[in-house]
Amino acid sequence: MTRHGRTWGLRGQTSIVKVSIQRGGYNVLSAVPVEGEMDYSIKDGTINGERYIELEQLISNRSRPLILLVDHATFHESKQVREFVRTHRSLLRVFFLPKWAPEFNLDEQVWNEIKNNRIGKQAVKNKEDLKERLVSALDSLKKNTKRVISFFSLPDTQYAGANVS
């Protein structure tokens, strides 16, 4: 497997970097509110409509509807999710971002932060190590509300924070 990044070694000797050919990953859902109190969920395996509508916990005890800006992932457009949104119309609004503009998605800013600034160049030993690093990075970002709020100031995502009081 390709190893990105830099390493060091003794002059005149080729450095050897151990890598694993075992690949593994996690699916992560995140909610990025204007107030900066990000939330996330990590899942080992695929995310489907049933898993996605577990966000019912996000809409309980709300006085105003939760507005979701989502991409066109298959589970966002599933029959289960459409029915869930229809049933909870007074508490939930879903708007789809254009397929041609993933940079408008605030979740992409979260993943950019996590992948490029947090764990992207760390040597990960195995899948469990990846999860530990992922949880640590997401928890750290979750605590840094100023950083999360800053995502709403980027040129491509300013629309999402506009006129919010």
Answer whether residue 23 shows pLDDT above 60.
yes
pLDDT digits (tens, 9 = 90+) for 40-89: 888 888 888 888 887 677 777 778 888 888 888 888 999 999 999 999 88
Cα torsion angle, 56, 61, 65, 68, sign: negative
The predicted model scores a pTM of 0.74
Q: Do the strands 92-96 and 66-70 form a parallel or antiparallel pair, or are they unpaired?
A: parallel
Question: Of 138, 122, 159, which is closest to residue 6 (Cα–Cα)?
Answer: 122
- Residue 8: which pLDDT band, with cuts at 50, 70 and 90? confident
Residue 94 β-bridge partners? 68
Mean pLDDT of 128-148: 92
Q: According to the 3-state scheme, what is the secondary structure of 112-154?
A: HHHHHHHHCCCCCCCHHHHHHHHHHHHHHHHHCHHHHHHHHHC
Mean pLDDT of 79-107: 88
Q: What contacts 118, CB < 8 A, 6 or more positions away? A: 133, 137, 140, 141
Q: What is the average pLDDT value for the chain, to the nearest integer?
A: 83
Cβ atoms < 10 Å from Cβ of 38: 22
Looking at residue 162, what is its pLDDT? 65
Q: Is residue 88 a contact partner of residue 57, using CB atoms and an 8 Å limit?
A: no
Superfamily name with CATH number, domain 27-160:
Ribonuclease H-like superfamily/Ribonuclease H (3.30.420.10)
